[in-house]
Amino acid sequence: MIEQTVHMGLLFDFYGQLLTEKQRLFFSLYHQDDLSLGEIAEQYGITRQAVYDIIQRSQKTLSNFEEKLGLIKRYIRQREQLEKVQGKLKELGDELARTGAAGPWQEQLAEVQELLAEIIEEF
């Protein structure tokens, strides 16, 4: 179970481009910049209820896309698998270090680890 804030962030990252400009703006002010409904309402000269409705509607739209496409579910599964690979590479490195054998493999292993870390970072 991932945290609600993280989940909203993922929904926005994956499907945010399918919202209208206004939906995207309000969703992001509320969920990412942490403004309150009241603050957004004041800033844009509309009622708090109208802001609430727009954000609720956006969330529903994003959730519907995820329900149909499941790309976030897939993303989370793949990320976990890659982190498992990362853990196993670390174990492998520890084991090799224990053998005390130096050699070009040290640099090669470091390279693989770095590449994988980058992939996970940008995933």
In the complex, the residues that contact a second copy under the rule CB under 8 A are 14-15, 17-18, 65, 68-69, 71, 78, 81-82, 84-85, 88-89, 91-92, 95-96, 99, 101, 103-105, 108-109, 111-112, 115-116, 118-119, 123
Specify the residue, 2 or 71, whose C-beta has the smaller distance to a second copy: 71
Report the 3 state secondary structure along 11-55.
HHHHHHHHCCHHHHHHHHHHHCCCCCHHHHHHHHCCCHHHHHHHH
Specify the residue, 38 or 70, whose C-beta has the smaller distance to a second copy: 70
Whole-angstrom Cα distance, residue 60 to residue 106? 50
